[in-house]
Structures are given as C-alpha cells and as structure tokens.
C-alpha cells in the first residue's frame, strides 16, 4: 500500500504536539489540548478520554466503562432522573448511562466545540437526540435553570474548571433539593514531610497540571476537597481515594499493550513511552484520584 503524502495538516498537528508536550514554557488552554487530541483514540471501540477504573477490567475500553458505571452507581441513577453531565468528552459516558441506567433525560455541557460536534453526531447516529442533549457550555456558568436537575455528574474533568469551587456552586444552584452530585477527579496527594519524595510529588503534579491545563486554584488534596464541598452547601459528603485502582494498573496495562500507544499521535506515543520508563510509584507519586459524592440539603 502506498504511503499517504505528508500534508500541511500533519505539519500543523506535529508542531502543535511538539509545543504542547515538549516545550516546558507552554501553558495550553484546555480547548487547545482537546482540539489536538480530536483525532486520537487510545481506546478501541469507544472514544473515552479517561484513565479508567481497573478493579476487574482487562482492556482500556472496559476500564473506562467501569469508571462510568462506578459514577452512575454512586449517583444511584434512576429512571426518573434528569441528569446534567459536564465535561462529556465524546459522549460515550452518556450513551452508557442511558443504556444501563435508563434515566429520563441527559443534558450535557462541554467547553470544547470540536468534541461537542463529534459527540452530537454519535448520539444522532443512535437516534437518541431527544433523550441525550449535548451542548457547548461551561460547568462554571451553566445555561441551566436553578433547581431543575436531579443529578450532576463530572467524570474526570473538574480539575480543569476555572474554578472547581465555582462548579460546586453552580451544581448546587441547578440541583433540586435532595439532588446528587458525583465527581471523579484528579487532585494532588498530600505532600510527604520532606526530602526527595516530596520534591518528586511536587514535580509530577506540576508536570500533569501544566500539560493538562489544571489551574493552580484546583491544586488541593482530599481534606480541603471535602471542606470545599461542605462550604459550597452540600451535605452527606463522601470523598474517597480510588487511586490504587487507577494509576498503577493503567501503567502496567500500557507497558504490556503497545497497540494502545500505536493508536496515538506518534509524538504523544513517544511522550507516553518515555513516561512509562519511570516506575508507576514514582510517576504518579504526586497524584490522587477521588470519587466524591454529595447531596443538596432539603427534601426531594
Ligand atoms: C479528560 S476529558 C474527559 C472526557 C470524558 N468525561 C471521558 O471520560 O471520556 C475532560 C473533559 O472536560 C471538558 N471540559 C474542560 N473544561 C470544561 C468546562 N469548564 N466546562 C465543561 N467541560 C469542560 C473537556 O472539553 C473534556 O471533554
């Protein structure tokens, strides 16, 4: 088979990836990061962009589905629920919640226009546009009426929001009394006391935060996280770390499944390959991963 000619589009993409991944001074906007990843799909049968929940999963697609299911189960999704899903990526999570939990309606908000277009087309192909309404919009300024939804979900995206606290306030506003919020989120681990390990923790967090457009206002560990949910007005708080079922098993899976890297842009695959040379314990030493749930006070 003859090779495709190198185009201007390839050149622009390569410069974009080089700048994003290897320029230490580059601070990318969240939309430009996801625009770069528009044609990249590390998964095989889905287009998820999350790290997955690996308790039982054997593939990346299954691990991503498992994380979506975990969030749905923690939210106790029911057939009468009106869901607001923020940061929906390419919409896979909404299709799964729809299929498996049969809620009344899902409205989605995503700040990246290129993803919204693809996700809307995927939903339309399944003839679900009446049930799953995916729109361009921000989790920090929701075009949603007060007290109009039963559940707010944010799957691996709240770390991007400017700021996560504004999102908590917005979630409280749009939820009905008794409504539930569930967030799967990346945060820093509390720093160890001193020495090389502390330096490494700071370094790994700073690298992730700079590459993935995480504002410094969102860099606080699990205890303040819970306090900020409470300060926003939420009750029945449950915030737990699920990091052991995320980072280490993902790292092991990527090391033994080069076909996943082969699905990425070559420059991204190179960066991931270099990162995988570092042991998981070190590579993720600064990163926690939490599953958080909370309820808006008042009678449903
Ligand atoms: C890591 S991706 C996760 C996507 C999807 N939840 C998944 O698991 O495949 C983060 C998502 O958050 C979205 N996002 C970032 N900031 C946002 C904001 N302020 N409001 C809504 N969505 C946002 C991005 O466009 C992207 O779709």
Distance CA 78, CA 69 (A): 13
Cβ of 245 below 6 Å from ligand 1 = no
Top-confidence residue, 135 or 13: 135
Tabulate helix, strand, coil % of the chain (nearest 5).
Answer: 45, 20, 35
Structural domain contains residue 288: yes
Q: How far apart are CA 234 and CA 88, in angstroms?
A: 23
Per-residue confidence band for 267, with pLDDT thresholds at 50, 70 and 90: confident
Kindly state the tokens that stand for 162. Answer: 């400017």
pLDDT at 295 over 90: yes
Q: Is residue 256 part of a domain?
A: yes
Q: Which two three-digit tokens encode residue 115?
A: 């993803």
More confident of the two residues 268 and 92: 92
Task: Report whether residue 155 contacts ligand 1, using a CB cutoff of 6 Å.
Answer: yes
Query: Tens digits of per-residue pLDDT, 58-70?
Result: 999 999 999 999 9
Q: Does the Cβ of 157 fall within 6 Å of ligand 1?
A: yes
**What is the C-alpha radius of gyration for the chain, rounded to an integer number of angstroms?**
19
Q: Is 71 part of any domain? A: yes
The verdict on residue 2 lying in a domain is no
Q: Residue 271's pLDDT is what?
A: 87
CATH of the domain at 196: 3.40.50.150
Give residue-wise pLDDT tens across range 15-72. Answer: 887 777 777 777 778 898 898 888 878 999 999 999 999 999 999 999 999 999 999 9
Distance of CA 92 to the CA centre of its chain: 12
Considering only CA atoms, which residue is closest to atom 18 of ligand 1? 138
pTM: 0.94
pLDDT tens figures, 75-92? 999 999 999 999 999 999
Residue 218 CB–ligand 1 contact under 6 Å: no
User: Residue 300 domain-assigned?
Assistant: no
Ligand 1 center from residue 91 Cα (angstroms):
10
Residue 32 CA, ligand 1 centroid: distance in Å:
12
Q: 50 in ligand 1 pocket by Cβ < 6 Å?
A: yes
Which residue's alpha carbon is nearest to atom 20 within ligand 1? 138
Work out the percent of the chain whose per-residue pLDDT is above 70: 98
Q: 166: closest CA among 232, 102, 230, 250?
A: 232
Q: Mean of the per-residue pLDDT values for the chain?
A: 93
3-state DSSP call for residue 224? helix
> Is residue 162's pLDDT more than 80?
yes
Residue of the CA atom closest to atom 13 of ligand 1: 87
CB-ligand 1 contact for 30 (6 Å cutoff)? yes
CA angle 31–200–273, rounded 5-degree value = 60
Percentage of the chain exceeding pLDDT 90: 78
- Average the pLDDT over 174-178 and give the result: 98
For a substitution probing ligand 1, which of 33, 52, 93, 111 has the most ligand atoms within 8 Å of its CB?
A: 111
**Does residue 18 fall inside a structural domain?**
no
Q: Which of 160, 168, 182 to mutate to test the pocket of ligand 1 (most atoms within 8 A of CB)?
A: 160
Locate the ligand 1 atom nearest the alpha carbon of residue 155 and give its number. 6
Residue 87 CA to ligand 1 center (angstroms) comes to 3
* Rounded Cα gap, residues 263 and 189, in angstroms: 31
User: What's the pLDDT tens digit per position in 225-254?
Assistant: 999 999 999 999 999 999 999 999 999 999
Q: Is the pLDDT of residue 184 over 90?
A: yes
User: What tokens does 166 get?
Assistant: 């504004």
Position 2 scores a pLDDT of 56
- Residue 265 CA, chain-centre distance (Å), reads 20
Residue 156 near residue 184 (C-beta atoms within 8 A): yes
| CA dihedral sign, ordered 115, 44, 29, 143 | positive
Distance 121 CA to ligand 1 centre (A): 17
Query: What mean pLDDT comes out for the span 128-138?
Result: 98
d(CA 111, CA 215): 15
Are the CB atoms for 122 and 190 separated by under 8 Å? no
**CA 175 to CA 244: how far, in whole Å?**
31
Q: Among residues 178, 145, 207, 187, which one has the least CA distance to residue 287?
A: 187
**Ligand 1 center from residue 226 Cα (angstroms):** 21
**DSSP assignment letter at 56:** S
| 140 within a domain of the structure (yes/no) | yes
Task: For ligand 1, say whether the CB of 89 is within 6 Å of any of its atoms.
Answer: yes
Mean pLDDT within 212-230: 96
Instruction: Report which protein residue has its CA nearest ligand 1's atom 11.
Output: 87
Total number of domains constituting the chain = 1
- Which domain covers residue 65, as residue numbers? 30-293
More confident residue, 5 or 233: 233
Q: Tell whether 166 is covered by a domain.
A: yes
Exposed, middle or buried: residue 113 (CB in 10 Å: 0-12, 13-18, 19+)?
A: exposed
The CA distance from 137 to 144, in Å, is: 10
Q: Where does residue 68 fall: left (phi above 0), alpha (psi -120 to 50 degrees), or beta otherwise?
A: alpha
φ and ψ at 125, to 5 degrees? -60, -25
Q: From the CB of 138, is ligand 1 less than 6 Å away?
A: yes
What pLDDT score does 139 carry?
98
């Amino acid at each position: 088979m003859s090779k495709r000619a190198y185009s201007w589009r390839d050149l622009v993409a390569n410069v974009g990836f080089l700048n994003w991944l290897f320029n230490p001074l580059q601070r990318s906007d969240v939309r430009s990061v996801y625009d770069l990843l528009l044609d990249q799909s590390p998964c095989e049968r889905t287009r998820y962009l999350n790290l997955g929940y690996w308790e039982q999963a054997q593939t990346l697609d299954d691990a991503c589905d498992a994380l979506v299911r975990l969030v749905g189960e923690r939210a106790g999704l029911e057939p009468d629920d009106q869901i607001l899903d923020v940061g929906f990526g390419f919409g896979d999570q909404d299709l799964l919640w729809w299929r498996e939990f049969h809620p009344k309606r899902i409205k989605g908000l995503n700040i990246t226009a290129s993803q919204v277009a693809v996700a809307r087309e995927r939903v339309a192909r399944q003839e679900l546009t009446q049930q799953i309404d995916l729109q361009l919009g921000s989790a920090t300024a929701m075009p949603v009426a007060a007290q109009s939804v039963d559940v707010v979900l944010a799957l691996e995206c709240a770390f991007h929001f400017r700021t996560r606290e504004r999102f908590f306030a917005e979630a409280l506003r749009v939820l009905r009394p008794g409504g539930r919020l569930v967030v799967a989120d990346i945060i820093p681990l509390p720093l160890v006391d001193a020495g090389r390990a502390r330096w490494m923790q700071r370094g790994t967090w700073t690298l992730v935060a700079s590459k993935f457009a995480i504002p410094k206002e969102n860099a606080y560990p699990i205890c303040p996280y819970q306090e900020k949910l409470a300060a926003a007005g939420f009750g029945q708080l449950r915030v737990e770390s699920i990091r052991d079922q995320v980072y280490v098993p993902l790292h092991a899976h990527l090391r033994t499944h080069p076909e996943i890297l082969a699905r990425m842009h070559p420059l991204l695959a190179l960066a991931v390959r270099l990162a995988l040379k570092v042991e998981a314990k070190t590579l993720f030493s600064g990163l926690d991963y939490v599953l958080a749930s909370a309820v808006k006070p008042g009678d449903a």
